[in-house]
């Protein structure tokens, strides 16, 4: 393996300039790395240099923001260390020189030993983790010190959503039972203001701020009025007092009335009447009708009216007079709005505090924590005096070097954790000792885009100040460095990036004033295109079932798909790669996963462009899932007419809308009853089959029967909905399996369970093969593509904001409306808007810098836009940059017009790759892909039964979920081999320790794997197979006919007169009866049985398959094995095929 990797390993690129200085392992480094400048290369180089200079792997801690980032870093380091083991001397010399390390014989020998040293180190290797993963590991080791129950488990997304909703439901029930009218009223007010989803979100935010809510006084309303500097008591009485003659500016009011009377126009006399009527009222009535008076000098939006000629009396001083009264009225009216807002907020905080306490108690009872708890509890744990020393002592390891990746996405609490871990670096022996201990952080303020997840880029700057001061106080070297040379984007793309920032000004990105400059190391031609926006009204009619979609979005999606198809068909050259483009070279970015994204995917399918689908979607959203759930709901309640209608027009049944309407018209009964009375038996049979299975199966088996049984649902759904339906289908199956592990597996309970939770499907955008990727800009962080298209650049940033995440003094607050934005709350809202706008521009920077060679900006304008692009949109920003570069409009046959920038210098293209035709046709699927392979000569080696026959079970390509299932199956299999001989009372502990040593860090996953393993081993039904007289991984070989059969069976038990043969199957498929066992598995066991019959001719052979997902042991009848023995020799004419191990086979 190492030799193979060594051949494939590319030479390390030499570190130069700031890169080399940043990788120096003897100094603290704060590195700002612009997009595409090789920050991961620098970070891994620093790890290599630390290891080469003798730092133990367990003394290095690498923290990053995402699991994908941690995986990428770990893969790069481990692959390089493995390559060094057998790398050619010259190549290894080059790598060490590139790292600015010693490269002599001793250094090379040390480099070759590093791979084994890492594997053998305490904890099983380098610690490269997300911050949440590190916290979970630490808290698992010290639960009591962190005030957590031993064996606690982190909640996954679905569990957290389910627990949160159940907590809310229980809270409402208790409030009703106890007659807590105040809480009920508070929840009603919150729901009316924010809607059901908004209210739930607010309560969850409160749950994350329990400590701040606990600190509030019992009666929140009076305290809140004082904090917001509002009068206590009846606000209307207070305003009435202010409207009395002695406190209101009546002299100015009378003067205004007289000026209008003297002017004498119709509008002026109406103003006089309004003022007179208001003055004749008592103070209380004046307060109630203050709005009527305010219209004398205020427009509909509340702003002061114009005093231009013809609009106001031509009297000197009139403008100043109405401005004073306008200000006074606005102040009093605003006071009422602020008081009403304060009353609402007091109710909301009261409900939030009750909910936060209930949710915390629910988590405690469940022995669970959420992601916020992991961070908060770890920060609290490490802030206790002396606890960090105690933790290091207990773990028998110390952290000497901390590396933080994506540091701009780290929040205040996470920096507290890093600071606590690094505190000893700058104090006592850590500051003055001989051993060097360092902190390295790399980030880019321009790419801080996850504020909606609570990250704070400002804390990135604050942390730098703190660590730099600590280093200076301890006389340690501290380098503040930046990387500006981009190895990703062409000069043309970077010209537009720099000019966009300059045109908008760096301060609008939240940056310090000054020039932001990128230098391209990718010296190839490139291009930036700005397509003319698509405007509403271009399409004459809606396209079939998409009449719900905005006209301009349908046209935009269609045009983008046609443009991509045209580029592929025309053989558009990638100048930096010397070949024509393929679908995998494109990345389409959107701000939001809106209908536009779905339309683009649909249009790309129509144009036969390979597309991976949307990067992230909720499991209950895809049509494939909704169709399958409709089948489940029909099985439970066939009288639900709406659900049955949806099922009938789904791909599973295949009716057209017209056929459905024909059956609905003039019916006198429910739809199902009507169909049973009027439908032909053949047409009714699929529905009867769905009902017939419902009472005798589990949710998983029911879904699998629909998908892989006679209904052939998987093929039907994918044919209609495209390949992107495959992932949601598999995730639904996994959800059904997860449900069956924890609950009684009835269809109705599964439907209820599924509806209560939310699960997101996340596709691995970095592993989509030669398929176009469509992602949000947030999802594209860390990715790149030769051609990037920003599809919705005309979106108005003011149309959707995150004001629902506002906080004031550490408390969640309700987003104030425009008229409520006054005082302290108004200031908080304005500051949040400014922060959000800066993030809006940083998100544009991330989008622009995903492009390697070509960047395309597109968008559409709805009817309200009236053809005008919003000045704060991304489109306007990029257009401003292109205008400053003097890029003029030019004709475009597809878009009407476009602006284009190809750079200010002529650069050479890469020579075309050998053998590529000028107009190469790129096919989504080669013609030979599905053609059966021809028969080949009989192999000269023994035939392995597990490889002798073809697996004819139709499984889809492996998805991320399927790969997870495969990994789980491998853990189960390996534990079966190890635990059978371990005393029962020691099995759980030994298994947990072994899994942790093998790198399975998640305690929840370890618990699940161990639970499944022990369910099998300790089940009385399987006791003999795992007893002392049974053999594990037993090799067998025999000559059967003219063939040599050789293989290894998982469990073999030999007794008087009987030989028992068992093989494990750890895939997703778990047949209920022997008739459902895949033919490939039967043939495999028939071959083993034939070999054992030769070895033990006087004993009976029993063969079985143990499906661990259930677990379920299925014994194969002798007649079934005998029936497939004669067919086995014919398979010897073929070469061995890949092992038959269902979908759990490692891919």
C-alpha distances in angstroms, 144 versus 129, 151, 199, 393, 443?
23, 10, 34, 16, 35
E strands of 785-848, at which residues?
785-790, 807-808, 811-812
Nearest to 1050 by CA among 1025, 1033, 1027, 1028: 1033
Please state which of the ranges 7-16, 513-522, 622-631 shows the lowest mean pLDDT. 7-16
At residue 1099, φ and ψ (nearest 5 deg) are -120, 150
Nearest to 902 by CA among 853, 942, 866, 948: 853
pLDDT in the model for residue 882: 97
- pTM of the predicted model as reported, rounded to 2 decimal places: 0.74
Please state which of the ranges 517-521, 689-693, 1128-1132 shows the lowest mean pLDDT. 1128-1132
In CATH, the number for domain 945-1144 is 3.90.320
Q: Is the pLDDT of residue 1080 over 60?
A: yes
Instruction: Copy the structure tokens of residue 1054.
Output: 């030999």
The answer to whether the 2-7+15-149+373-483 and 945-1144 domains have the same CATH topology is no
Taking the CA atoms of residue 249, residue 253, residue 259 and residue 263 in that order, the dihedral angle to the nearest 10 degrees is 160
C-alpha distances in angstroms, 134 versus 69, 137, 455, 1007, 1143?
14, 5, 18, 18, 31
CB 175 within 8 A of CB 358: no
List of residues 6+ apart from 529 with CB closer than 8 A:
854, 855, 856, 857, 898, 899, 900
760 against 586, higher pLDDT: 586
pLDDT in the model for residue 788: 98
pLDDT in the model for residue 1125: 74
Q: Which fold has domain 527-535+544-616+769-803+838-901?
A: Rossmann fold (3.40.50)
pLDDT in the model for residue 972: 79
Q: What is the mean pLDDT of residues 816-845?
A: 92
Instruction: Copy the structure tokens of residue 991.
Output: 């298994």
Q: Is the pLDDT of residue 1101 over 80?
A: yes
Please state which of the ranges 535-544, 656-665, 855-864 shows the lowest mean pLDDT. 535-544
pLDDT in the model for residue 587: 96
pLDDT in the model for residue 397: 64
Please state which of the ranges 80-89, 136-145, 248-257, 664-673 shows the lowest mean pLDDT. 664-673
pLDDT in the model for residue 620: 66
Task: Tell me which H or E stretch contains 344.
Answer: helix 318-366
Please state which of the ranges 140-144, 358-362, 777-781, 1011-1015 shows the lowest mean pLDDT. 1011-1015
Task: Tell me which H or E stretch contains 139.
Answer: helix 131-141
Q: Is the pLDDT of residue 329 over 80?
A: yes
Q: What is the mean pLDDT of residues 1097-1113?
A: 81
Cβ neighbour number for residue 144 with a 10 Å cutoff: 8
Q: Is the pLDDT of residue 928 over 70?
A: no
For the stretch 17-47, pLDDT in tens is 899 999 999 999 999 999 999 999 999 999 9
Cβ neighbour number for residue 638 with a 10 Å cutoff: 21
pLDDT in the model for residue 763: 60
Instruction: Copy the structure tokens of residue 582.
Output: 């393929």
For the stretch 282-303, pLDDT in tens is 999 999 999 988 888 888 878 8
- Mean pLDDT for the chain? 84
pLDDT in the model for residue 428: 62
CATH superfamily of 617-762: PCRA; domain 4 (1.10.486.10)
CB 214 within 8 A of CB 206: no
Cβ burial of 672 (10 Å; 0-12, 13-18, 19+) is middle
Q: Is the pLDDT of residue 898 over 90?
A: yes
For the stretch 948-986, pLDDT in tens is 443 444 444 445 555 566 677 778 777 877 777 787 878
Residue linked to tokens 């004498």:
264
Cβ neighbour number for residue 838 with a 10 Å cutoff: 19
**Terminal Cα-to-Cα distance of the chain (whole angstroms):** 16
Q: What is the mean pLDDT of residues 319-347?
A: 93
Q: How confident is the model at residue 548 (pLDDT cuts 50, 70, 90)?
A: very low
Please state which of the ranges 268-272, 586-590, 1051-1055 shows the lowest mean pLDDT. 1051-1055
Q: Is the pLDDT of residue 1072 over 80?
A: no
pLDDT in the model for residue 289: 92
Please state which of the ranges 131-135, 148-152, 648-652, 937-941 shows the lowest mean pLDDT. 937-941
Q: Which fold has domain 2-7+15-149+373-483?
A: Rossmann fold (3.40.50)
SS3 of residue 440 by DSSP: strand
Nearest to 984 by CA among 1033, 1026, 1031, 1029: 1026
Among 212-221, 966-975, 1032-1041, 1087-1096, name the most confident range: 212-221
Q: How confident is the model at residue 900 (pLDDT cuts 50, 70, 90)?
A: very high
DSSP 515: -
For the stretch 355-408, pLDDT in tens is 999 999 999 999 999 989 999 999 999 888 777 777 766 655 678 999 999 999
Q: What is the mean pLDDT of residues 926-952?
A: 48
Among 79-83, 296-300, 878-882, name the most confident range: 878-882
Instruction: Give percent of the chain with pLDDT exceeding 90.
Output: 46
pLDDT in the model for residue 298: 87
Q: Indicate the pairing of strand 1043-1055 with strand 28-33.
A: unpaired
Instruction: Copy the structure tokens of residue 454.
Output: 């609570």
pLDDT in the model for residue 190: 95
Q: How confident is the model at residue 1136 (pLDDT cuts 50, 70, 90)?
A: very low
SS3 of residue 812 by DSSP: strand
Number of alpha helices (DSSP H) and beta strands (DSSP E) in the chain: 42, 31
pLDDT in the model for residue 865: 84
pLDDT in the model for residue 953: 44
pLDDT in the model for residue 275: 92
Q: Indicate the pairing of strand 760-762 with strand 616-618.
A: antiparallel
- 936-959 burial, b for 16+ CB within 10 Å, e for fewer? eeeeeeebbbbbbbbbeeebbebb
pLDDT in the model for residue 550: 72
Task: Tell how far CA 750 is from the center of its chain.
Answer: 25
C-alpha distances in angstroms, 1109 versus 159, 1013, 1017, 1143?
21, 10, 13, 12
β-bridge mates for residue 956, sequence order: none
E strands of 924-1041, at which residues?
1030-1040
Domain ranges of the chain: 2-7+15-149+373-483, 183-366, 527-535+544-616+769-803+838-901, 617-762, 945-1144
Angle at 627 between CA 623 and CA 628, to 5 degrees: 120
Nearest to 1074 by CA among 1109, 1107, 1025: 1107
For the stretch 614-668, pLDDT in tens is 666 666 678 889 999 999 999 999 999 999 999 999 999 988 888 888 888 878 8
List of residues 6+ apart from 362 with CB closer than 8 A:
163, 166, 167, 170
Cβ burial of 835 (10 Å; 0-12, 13-18, 19+) is middle
List of residues 6+ apart from 826 with CB closer than 8 A:
816, 820
Among 212-226, 384-398, 896-910, 1047-1061, name the most confident range: 212-226
Residue linked to tokens 């739809």:
671
CB 782 within 8 A of CB 65: no
């Amino acid at each position: 393996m190492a030799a193979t990797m060594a051949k494939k390993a590319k030479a390390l690129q030499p570190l130069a300039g700031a890169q080399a200085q940043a990788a120096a392992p003897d100094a603290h480094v704060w590195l700002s790395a612009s997009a595409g400048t090789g920050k991961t290369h620098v970070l891994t180089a620093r790890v290599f240099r630390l290891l080469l200079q003798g730092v133990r792997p367990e003394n290095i801690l690498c923290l990053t923001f995402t699991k994908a980032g941690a995986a990428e870093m770990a893969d790069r380091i481990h692959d390089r260390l493995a390559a060094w083991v057998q790398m050619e001397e010259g190549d290894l010399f080059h790598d060490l020189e590139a790292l600015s390390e010693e490269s002599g014989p001793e250094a090379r020998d040390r480099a070759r030993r590093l791979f084994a040293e890492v594997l053998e180190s305490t904890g099983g290797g380098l610690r490269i983790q997300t911050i949440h993963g590190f916290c979970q590991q630490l808290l698992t080791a010290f639960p009591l010190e962190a005030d957590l129950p031993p064996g606690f488990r982190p909640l996954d997304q679905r569990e957290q959503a389910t627990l949160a909703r159940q907590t809310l439901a229980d809270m409402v029930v208790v409030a009703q039972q106890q007659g807590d009218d105040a809480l009920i009223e508070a929840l009603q007010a919150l729901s009316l203001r924010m809607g059901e989803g908004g209210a739930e979100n607010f309560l969850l935010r409160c749950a994350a701020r329990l400590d701040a809510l606990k600190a509030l006084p019992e009666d929140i309303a009076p305290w809140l009025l004082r904090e917001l500097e509002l009068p206590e008591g009846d606000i209307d009485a207070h305003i009435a007092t202010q409207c009395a003659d002695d406190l209101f500016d009546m002299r100015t009011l009378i003067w205004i009335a007289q000026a209008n009377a003297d002017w004498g126009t119709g509008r002026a006399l109406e103003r006089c009447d309004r003022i007179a009527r208001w003055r004749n009222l008592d103070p209380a009535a004046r307060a109630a009708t203050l709005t009527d008076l305010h219209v004398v000098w205020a427009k509909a939006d509340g702003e002061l009216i114009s005093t231009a000629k013809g609009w106001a009396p031509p009297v000197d001083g009139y403008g100043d007079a109405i401005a004073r009264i306008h200000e006074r009225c606005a102040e009093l009216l605003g006071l009422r709005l602020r008081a009403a807002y304060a009353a609402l907020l007091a109710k909301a905080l009261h409900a939030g505090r009750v909910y936060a306490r209930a949710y915390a108690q629910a988590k405690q009872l469940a022995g669970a924590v959420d992601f916020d708890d992991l961070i908060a509890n770890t920060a609290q744990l490490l802030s206790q005096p002396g606890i960090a020393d105690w933790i290091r002592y207990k773990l028998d390891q110390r952290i000497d070097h901390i590396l933080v990746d994506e540091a701009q996405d780290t929040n205040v609490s996470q920096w507290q954790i890093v600071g606590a871990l690094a505190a000893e670096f700058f104090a006592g022996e850590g500051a003055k000792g001989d051993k060097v201990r360092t902190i390295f952080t790399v980030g880019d303020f321009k790419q801080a885009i996850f504020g909606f997840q609570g990250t704070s880029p400002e804390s990135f700057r604050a942390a730098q100040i703190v660590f730099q001061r600590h280093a200076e106080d301890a006389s340690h070297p501290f380098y503040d460095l930046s990387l500006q040379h981009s190895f990703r984007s062409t000069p043309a793309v970077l010209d537009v990036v720099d000019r966009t920032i300059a045109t908008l000004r760096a301060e609008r990105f939240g940056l310090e004033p000054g020039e932001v400059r990128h230098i391209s190391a990718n010296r190839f031609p490139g291009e930036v295109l700005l397509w003319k926006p698509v405007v509403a009204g271009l399409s004459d009619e809606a396209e079939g079932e998409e009449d719900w979609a905005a006209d301009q979005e349908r046209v935009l999606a269609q045009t983008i798909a046609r443009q991509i198809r045209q580029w592929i068909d025309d053989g558009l050259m990638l100048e930096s790669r010397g070949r024509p483009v393929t679908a995998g070279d494109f990345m389409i970015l959107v701000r939001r996963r809106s209908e536009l994204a779905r339309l683009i995917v649909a249009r790309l399918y129509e144009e036969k462009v390979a597309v991976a689908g949307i990067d992230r979607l909720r499991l209950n959203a895809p049509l494939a899932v909704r169709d399958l759930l409709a089948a489940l709901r029909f099985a439970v309640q066939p009288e639900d007419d709406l659900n049955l209608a949806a099922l009938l027009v789904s791909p599973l049944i295949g009716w057209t809308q017209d056929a459905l309407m024909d059956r609905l018209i003039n019916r006198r009964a429910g739809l199902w009853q009507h169909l049973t009375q009027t439908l032909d038996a053949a047409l009714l049979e699929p529905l009867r089959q769905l009902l017939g299975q419902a009472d005798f199966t589990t949710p998983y088996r029911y879904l699998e029967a629909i998908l892989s049984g006679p209904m052939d649902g998987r093929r039907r759904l994918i044919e209609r909905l495209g390949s992107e339906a495959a992932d949601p289908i598999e995730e639904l199956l996994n959800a059904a399996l997860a449900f069956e592990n924890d609950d009684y597996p009835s269809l109705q309970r599964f439907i209820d369970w599924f509806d209560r939770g939310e699960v997101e499907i996340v596709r691995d955008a970095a592993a989509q093969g030669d398929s176009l990727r469509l992602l949000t800009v947030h999802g594209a962080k860390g990715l790149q593509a030769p051609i990037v298209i920003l599809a919705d650049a005309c979106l108005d940033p003011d149309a959707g904001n995150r004001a629902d995440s506002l906080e004031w003094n550490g408390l969640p607050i309700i987003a104030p409306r425009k008229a409520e934005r006054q005082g302290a709350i108004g200031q908080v809202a304005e500051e949040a808007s400014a922060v959000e706008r800066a993030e809006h521009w940083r998100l544009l920077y991330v989008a622009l810098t995903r492009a390697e060679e070509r960047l395309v900006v597109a968008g559409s304008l709805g009817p309200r836009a009236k053809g005008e692009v919003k000045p704060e949109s991304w489109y306007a920003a990029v257009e401003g940059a292109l205008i400053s570069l003097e890029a003029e409009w030019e004709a475009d046959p597809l878009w009407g017009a476009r602006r284009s920038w190809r750079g200010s210098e002529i650069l050479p293209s890469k020579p075309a790759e050998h053998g590529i035709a000028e107009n190469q046709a790129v096919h989504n699927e080669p013609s030979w892909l599905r053609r059966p392979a021809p028969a080949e000569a009989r192999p000269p080696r023994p035939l392995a039964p597990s490889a002798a026959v073809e697996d004819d079970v139709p499984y889809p390509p492996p998805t991320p979920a399927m790969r997870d299932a495969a990994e789980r199956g491998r853990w189960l299999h390996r534990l079966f081999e190890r635990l059978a001989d371990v005393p029962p009372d020691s099995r759980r502990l030994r298994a947990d320790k072994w899994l942790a040593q093998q790198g399975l860090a998640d305690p929840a996953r370890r618990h699940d794997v161990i639970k499944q393993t022990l369910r099998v081993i300790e089940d009385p039904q399987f006791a003999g197979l795992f007893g002392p007289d049974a053999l594990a991984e037993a090799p067998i070989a025999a000559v059967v006919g003219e063939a040599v059969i050789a293989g290894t069976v998982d469990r073999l038990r030999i007794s008087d007169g009987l030989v028992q043969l068992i093989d494990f199957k750890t895939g997703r498929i778990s047949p209920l009866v022997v008739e459902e066992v895949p033919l490939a598995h039967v043939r495999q066991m028939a071959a083993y049985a034939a070999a054992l019959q030769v070895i033990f001719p006087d004993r009976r052979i029993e063969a079985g398959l143990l499906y661990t997902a259930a677990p379920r042991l299925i014994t194969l009848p002798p007649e079934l094995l005998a029936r497939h023995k004669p067919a086995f020799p014919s398979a010897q004419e073929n070469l061995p095929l890949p092992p038959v191990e269902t979908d759990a086979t490692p891919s």
